[in-house]
Chains A and B, each alone.
Chain A
Amino acid sequence: MGRTVEGMQKPPPDLARLMMRVAKRDRAAFAELYSATSAKLYGVTLRILNQREIADEVLQEVYVKIWERAGDFDAAQGSPISWMAAIARNRALDELRRKRSFVQDSAAEVLEVPDPAILPSEAAERSEDYRRVERCLDRLEPDRRDMVRLAYLEGWSREQLSIRFDAPVATIKTWLHRSLIKLRDCLGQ
């Protein structure tokens, strides 16, 4: 936020067009789409999974899925990168939750996890859309804001949040719901 001037970082202008070509089974377009987006999706996946081997596998599955589902992408419903990121996050979260059902998180483990989410990385590009969401997040209490970030960016479960914020799981759920509603109303979409 300390920065005053930032070029509006537009997504590469041809992502939507590339998606259309990929939907028509254009392998060259798929390769272009991959090189334009894979670092972003890998970053997102790695942040949630924290293990390169697993993130590597997940990323491969994500792109095969993107190839297979490109025809389902609807530009009226959102941007290509949001659609692709949703596929990546969902796949990463499924992997994370599946693991978690076997290995319970210990309290100590969760409490010791460093939280880069709370301090937004300065290195990443910021868009106008980002600033809108950030302004709305800033209206939440700091704890609630951190919860949303930890959940969305790091894949934290309610149980993990419950340990970290020292509140029952049901309370965490209520807080998350209230925060999400405030966020939605603030964003006005």
Chain B
Amino acid sequence: MTERDDIDLTAAEFALGTLDADERRSVVERRRADPGLDRAIAAWENRLAPLLDEVAPVEPPSRLFAEIERRVEVSEGLGATAPGPLATATVIALERQVSRWRGLAYGSMALAAMLLVALGVVTGWSRYGVKGTETFVAVFQKDDAQPAFLMSVDLATREVTIRAVTADRKVGKAYQLWIVAEPFGPKPHSLGLLDSDLGPTRKRLSDLEPAVLQKATFGISEEPPGGSPTGQPTGRAIHGTLHQASP
């Protein structure tokens, strides 16, 4: 079998859907660096797509689109200029948090590359009832220009959602999410990898009390594929912290 056949069969099985989780991840990783593989996958997706005519359409629940629009607004960068649930947004640099991370077990390389922490405080989430402040947003910011990642936390469900805003997909790199919070001691605790495709990543932190979650510091570091080999951040890291928003 030639290398080209091999690529085509990988593409075919990816599009068919029979690869396991690890194989799928590896293909997603490879196609970014390999336009041939990317084209082969697209060709297979097009070849097989007519079969989807066999699937009867099903109307999704009507509430879904409002939720999608809300997420789109968050993804568009806090929606500061858009009307809607995100009434105001402010971004504050928090030097204090940087020094807090400096105190942690970081290598000097990572320290040198330490990036500014920024925080977005969002108010006016009226849909969350009388308290109105159960959802928070933190910005992971590389520079003064634009946020790299945006994280929203719903304290009611203890669900964290991270979206890439300007962060780039990198070949041979994974982004890993960390938390520094009381129950885990002073060192960062891994919350797992972000979606390798940089789609939204959702984590449910059901073990953490909302009060603990609110005080936690979050970090995102660049790691080798599969995550940090040491159990601690090894690569460049950017950080964000949640604060209580005033209603």
Contacts and interface: CB of A to CB of B under 8 A. Distances in A.
Interface of A: 25, 27, 30-31, 34, 38-40, 42-44, 46-48, 52, 56-57, 59-61, 63-65, 67-68, 77-79, 81-83, 85-86, 89, 91, 93-94, 97-98, 100-101, 117, 120-121, 123-127, 129-130, 132-133, 137, 148-149, 151-153, 155-158, 161, 173, 176-177, 180-181, 183-184, 187, 189
B51 A133 contact: yes
A68 B58 contact: no
Nearest to A30: B72
The 6 lowest CB-CB distance pairs between A and B, nearest first, are A39-B57, A82-B49, A129-B50, A78-B46, A97-B21, A42-B60
A151 B75 contact: no
B72 A189 contact: no
Contacts of A184: 8, 12, 47
B241 to A, nearest CB: 24
B199 A65 contact: yes
Contact of B53 (A25, A27, A89, A127): A127
B168 interface: no
B211 interface: no
B47 A187 contact: yes
Contact of A47 (B19, B50, B55): B55
Interface in B143-159: none
Given A42-B60, A123-B56, A133 B21 contact: no
Q: Which of B16, B42, B65, B202 has the most CB of A within 10 A?
A: B16
Contact of B21 (A56, A94, A129, A155): A94
